[in-house]
Amino acid sequence: MILCLLAGGLMACQNSPQPSLYEEIGGTQTLDKVFGLAVNRIYNDPRLGPHFEGVPRNHLRKMLTEQTCALIGGPCTYTGKSMQESHQERNVTTAEFYAVVEHVQQAMRLIGLSYQQENRVLAALAPLKRDIVYQAGQE
């Protein structure tokens, strides 16, 4: 009888849904903090700031938060332009892409995400690289 109860309890545990990464890290509130810090660092970085001239910080923060929320299992809908459309004329290099990644990673670390959570967020964003890194003459 006890064995049946234990087995039944284990089965119930296995069937409970895992929280999404979005829920695990604290949702939109956490993402907004991450991208608030990251955007400030990006705009102040002389390698990156010029790419964002004319783009209000709050707009970039909102778009990054929305997009990441949607990619990591949150309830958000990304309302911005496609990555290809918004980056095509900016000639973003691979080095600049990774500089942005570093700022996002540092921001996640500062607010207390675990290394594992950081990697999972970055893994969700990584496929966007092919539409962000673009240099005139390369197609």
H helical segments located in 1-139: 2-15, 21-25, 27-44, 57-71, 83-87, 94-111, 115-125, 129-132
87 labeled part of a ligand binding site: yes
Residue 69 half-sphere exposure toward CB, CA atoms < 13 A:
23
Residue (of 22, 40, 24) closest to 124 by Cα position: 22
Binding residues: 87
- Give binding residues for heme as ranges: 87
